[in-house]
Amino acid sequence: MTAQFDMFAQSHEEPGVVELAALLRSCPLVLVKKLSNNDRDWARLPNKHQAGVYISPRERDSGFFPNLVDKPRSDGGAAIRECFFRTEWPQVDEVREATRLVHYTSKGPETHLTGVPKAAFATLSPASFLVIGRYGVDGAARFQCLTIDSASDDALVLADTLDLPADFVAGVFEPEAALAAERERILDFAGEATAAWLGGTIAQFATANAALPSTAVLARMAREQYLAGHHLATLDPFLIENPGDTVREISRTIEWELFRKFQRRERAIELVRTILGDTPGDVTVTAVIRSLIDNIGEVDRLMLSASQQRKSRAGYSFEHQIEAMLAAGAVPFEKQVVMDAKKRPDFILPSLARFVKPVPGAANGLILSAKTTLRERWKQVQREMAGGDLFLATVDENVAANAIEDMATLGIVLVVPEALRMSRSTEYVRHTNVIGFGDFFRTELAGRRMPEWGCWAGPSHGGQ
């Protein structure tokens, strides 16, 4: 079984993960906010007026923060509602005695958390998180705050532990309840595994139920579930309003839930086999307790986050869904074709021959590369260009502005889901070399290239 990250460990090579694990383990109530660009820009750019983090009315009025009270005013202006409380910021070794939550009623619902350390926000990637843990209630409440960089392993641990959806914005959670719910899901299937153990067929049961499907099979299952749920017969990108959001939902939500379902089965079976073994017999309560004590480390690992295994499979999922969309749209392509110097781009459109030797006066072929996360990997992709056009598809939210600008100077066009393209948490909307999947299919392909490639691009495909 793939080794899992131990959120209950006392030490780990990533200090941030330890701090996050400690907060989630000990704190009864946690507020999580995905940071918008404005929530970060004030700490890293000059001439920004916002000096803190926007808090939505739902979270403001949830009971998580102290009650807002009217600030006395002598000028007769619109009411200002505020409260002050102590916040601790262990990552930057600061304590703020008077962090302020303030609502200027003249500005509508807009509420800000101010009096927070700039150092905690200044270097964060786009779509990072603010996590606030509340200990105690009312006047005795104290708040511990962490900022979680979206490009770090901490972000995966946070998302997996609290089961944050791909389109998550903000919410208040009870971590122990989230962990208990995950344990219950595992233990539900453990009952079936125990019955198999009692019948002496645990090994056969494990073979039939514990193996994760291949990435291609899991991708197909997710795709079929999406199509059924949306009453669609095809994944044709020319017939879907926002095909990028569709790819994101299939690969980052539906397929992830399917993956977790299979992984829970895997963990449940491993749990039963770890505690009881493979051979049924007269098992006493004392023997079970002793086995639990002897194997407590392994039991903990079986109950923990699937983040690392998720990371290793996510890229294949994204690539499978793009391939299915290309095929459904009748877009000609070749996959993983070996070019010179052993370059192997994900997709070449319409073909390697057309890419290497363009037809005079016609639109060139292109390379479409698929990367779930970019970080520095886009520099590897750049070597695949071979003098042609390169489109880089991603669902990565945390690509920094300077990286997008560097890609623009090299002629790389980013293709992202439509919701991410316009999101206030990403840097994409600020750059002209970023387009949505819909623009890629309808404008770049059907509107410009496919007719010149001799491919069908009828009215429903946005063609002539």
Domains of the chain, by residue range, sit at 15-173, 179-310, 331-461
Residue 272 pLDDT > 60: yes
Q: What gap in Å lies between CA 151 and CA 406, rounded to an integer?
A: 18
CA atoms 269, 272, 276, 280: torsion sign: negative
What confidence score (pLDDT) does residue 350 get? 93
Q: What gap in Å lies between CA 105 and CA 79, rounded to an integer?
A: 6
Residue 95 pLDDT > 90: yes
Q: Kindly write down the DSSP assignment for every residue of 428-446, as one continuous string.
A: GGG-TTEEEHHHIIIIIII
Residue range 144-194, pLDDT digits in tens = 999 999 988 889 889 888 989 888 999 999 999 888 887 777 777 777 777
Most confident stretch, 222-226, 337-341, 345-349, 350-354: 222-226
Task: Specify the 3-state DSSP secondary structure of 298.
Answer: helix
| The two structure tokens encoding residue 89 | 């910021």
Q: What gap in Å lies between CA 273 and CA 405, rounded to an integer?
A: 53
Strands (E), 76-139: 80-89, 94-104, 111-114, 129-135
What confidence score (pLDDT) does residue 4 get? 36
Amino acid (one-letter) located at 114: T
> pLDDT: is 169 or 305 the higher one?
169
What confidence score (pLDDT) does residue 1 get? 33
Using pLDDT thresholds of 50, 70 and 90, give the confidence band for residue 9.
very low
What confidence score (pLDDT) does residue 370 get? 92
Residue range 228-270, pLDDT digits in tens = 999 999 999 999 999 999 999 999 889 888 888 888 777 777 7
Window from 29-33, 238-242, 343-347 with minimum mean pLDDT: 343-347
What confidence score (pLDDT) does residue 329 get? 95
What confidence score (pLDDT) does residue 2 get? 33
Q: What gap in Å lies between CA 247 and CA 317, rounded to an integer?
A: 10
What confidence score (pLDDT) does residue 459 get? 45
Section 48-64 average pLDDT:
89
What confidence score (pLDDT) does residue 282 get? 60
Residue 254: which region, alpha, beta or left (left: phi > 0; alpha: psi -120 to 50)?
Answer: alpha
What confidence score (pLDDT) does residue 55 get? 96
Contact 365, 351 (CB under 8 A): yes
What confidence score (pLDDT) does residue 281 get? 66
| pLDDT above 90 as % of the chain | 49
Q: What average pLDDT is seen over the chain?
A: 83
133 contacts: CB under 8 Å, gap ≥ 6 = 23, 24, 26, 27, 29, 30, 143, 144, 145, 146
Q: What class is the 15-173 domain?
A: mainly beta
Section 274-303 average pLDDT:
59
Strands (E), 354-452: 366-370, 389-393, 412-416, 434-436
Using pLDDT thresholds of 50, 70 and 90, give the confidence band for residue 6.
very low
Count other C-beta atoms under 10 Å from residue 291's C-beta.
Answer: 16
What confidence score (pLDDT) does residue 309 get? 56
What confidence score (pLDDT) does residue 286 get? 56
Strand order in the sheet with 434-436: 334-335, 347-349, 366-370, 389-393, 412-416, 434-436
| pLDDT above 70 as % of the chain | 83
Q: What gap in Å lies between CA 464 and CA 457, rounded to an integer?
A: 7
Residue 106 pLDDT > 80: yes
Section 364-375 average pLDDT:
88
Residue 464 pLDDT > 70: no
Using pLDDT thresholds of 50, 70 and 90, give the confidence band for residue 11.
very low
Assigned CATH topology for domain 331-461? Restriction Endonuclease (3.40.91)
In the beta sheet, which residues pair with residue 368?
Answer: 347, 391
DSSP letter (8 states) at residue 237: T
Section 35-64 average pLDDT:
89
Section 68-97 average pLDDT:
91
Residue range 416-429, pLDDT digits in tens = 999 999 999 999 99
| The two structure tokens encoding residue 153 | 């392993």
Section 130-154 average pLDDT:
89
